[in-house]
């Protein structure tokens, strides 16, 4: 596919469980972002990767959240000990350029924590 | 603290009834202001980038403008397929946070046939 691919599209889990969300960016895009969007809100920045390294992780809300991009392509967002407040749509975006606001977003992974 | 406020929260228009959406912002230094469109259940889709006051960008029935304090998205003779949530976002010039976009809550536009 030509676009950003995110899996799963929907995830329902119980409070306290561990969750992984995957993002496959557009081929050749070196910049990758994770955002979180709650109902009725705009997307909220979580983390930015340039290549394999996290250039800015200041948006991660606490140490239960962690993201990796080991080979500079696919990224995984990991959430430990999930809480009901973690319920949201997690959006991944990529770009061929650094430090740009022109992003290509995926359709998101909707996480529901019961 | 960087802030982005969009108004109105929701807007209903008759097909062909032109209007404008507002995005006001407060930032330490503006690198760029961005407009996105978001359809239900989808990720945001990039529309425009504006870098400096006085700049304008157009695409089909949409025109975006920028001043030092706000941006407008003008919609001329809208069609039902223009119905979506329109998001405004800002990026600051330097320092911590310059890789991030700060989004507003969006304006939900409904165009009635």
pLDDT, chain B, mean: 95
A18-46 tens-digit pLDDT: 999 999 999 999 999 999 999 999 999 99
pLDDT of residue B67 exceeding 80, the answer is: yes
For B98, the closest chain A residue by CA position comes to A99
Please check whether residue B113 lies inside any domain of the structure.
no
- CATH number of the domain bearing residue B59: 2.60.40.10
Q: A58 — contact with chain B (CB < 8 Å)?
A: yes
CB contact under 8 A, A42 and B43: no
**Residue-level pLDDT at A65:** 98
Please tell me the total count of domains within chain A: 1
**Residue-level pLDDT at A1:** 55
Where does the pLDDT of residue B56 fall: very low under 50, low under 70, confident under 90, or very high at 90 and above? very high
pLDDT of residue B2 exceeding 90, the answer is: no
| Lookup result for tokens 């959006």 | A91
- CATH number of the domain bearing residue A59: 2.60.40.10
CA A10 to chain B, closest CA, distance in angstroms equals: 11
Where does the pLDDT of residue B53 fall: very low under 50, low under 70, confident under 90, or very high at 90 and above? very high
Identify the domain containing residue A30 by its residue range: 5-100
Q: A25 — contact with chain B (CB < 8 Å)?
A: no
Where does the pLDDT of residue A2 fall: very low under 50, low under 70, confident under 90, or very high at 90 and above? confident
Please check whether residue B30 lies inside any domain of the structure.
yes
Mean pLDDT for B10-26 is 97
Please tell me the total count of domains within chain B: 1
Please check whether residue A110 lies inside any domain of the structure.
no
Please check whether residue A57 lies inside any domain of the structure.
yes
DSSP type of residue A16: T
Identify the domain containing residue B18 by its residue range: 3-96
Mean pLDDT for B66-78 is 97
Please check whether residue A107 lies inside any domain of the structure.
no
CB contact under 8 A, A56 and B41: no
B29-38 tens-digit pLDDT: 899 999 999 9
Please check whether residue A105 lies inside any domain of the structure.
no
Is residue A31 helix, strand or coil?
strand
**Residue-level pLDDT at B93:** 84
Please check whether residue B62 lies inside any domain of the structure.
yes
Decide the pairing of beta strands A109-113 and A88-95: antiparallel
Please check whether residue A11 lies inside any domain of the structure.
yes
CB contact under 8 A, A101 and B101: yes
- H or E stretch including B85? strand B84-92
Please check whether residue A71 lies inside any domain of the structure.
yes
């Amino acid at each position: 596919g030509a676009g950003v691919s995110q899996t799963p599209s929907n995830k329902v889990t119980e409070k306290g469980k561990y969750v992984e969300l995957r993002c496959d960016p557009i081929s050749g895009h070196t910049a990758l972002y994770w955002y979180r969007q709650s109902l009725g809100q705009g997307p909220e920045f979580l983390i930015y990767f340039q290549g394999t390294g996290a250039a800015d992780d200041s948006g991660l809300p606490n140490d239960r959240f962690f993201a990796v991009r080991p080979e500079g392509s696919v990224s995984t967002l990991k959430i430990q000990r999930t809480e009901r407040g973690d319920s949201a749509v997690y959006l991944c975006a990529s770009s061929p350029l650094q430090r740009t606001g022109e992003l290509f977003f995926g359709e998101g992974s909707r996480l529901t924590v019961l | 603290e960087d802030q982005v406020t969009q108004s109105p929260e929701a807007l209903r228009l008759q097909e062909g009834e032109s209007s404008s959406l507002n995005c006001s912002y407060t930032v330490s230094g503006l690198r760029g202001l961005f407009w996105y469109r978001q359809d239900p259940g989808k990720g945001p889709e990039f529309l425009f980038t504006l870098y400096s006051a006085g700049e304008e960008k157009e695409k089909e029935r949409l025109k975006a403008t920028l001043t030092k304090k706000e941006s407008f998205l003008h919609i001329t003779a809208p069609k039902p397929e223009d119905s979506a949530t329109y998001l405004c976002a800002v990026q600051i010039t330097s320092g911590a946070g310059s890789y991030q976009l700060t989004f507003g809550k969006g304006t939900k536009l409904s165009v009635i046939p």
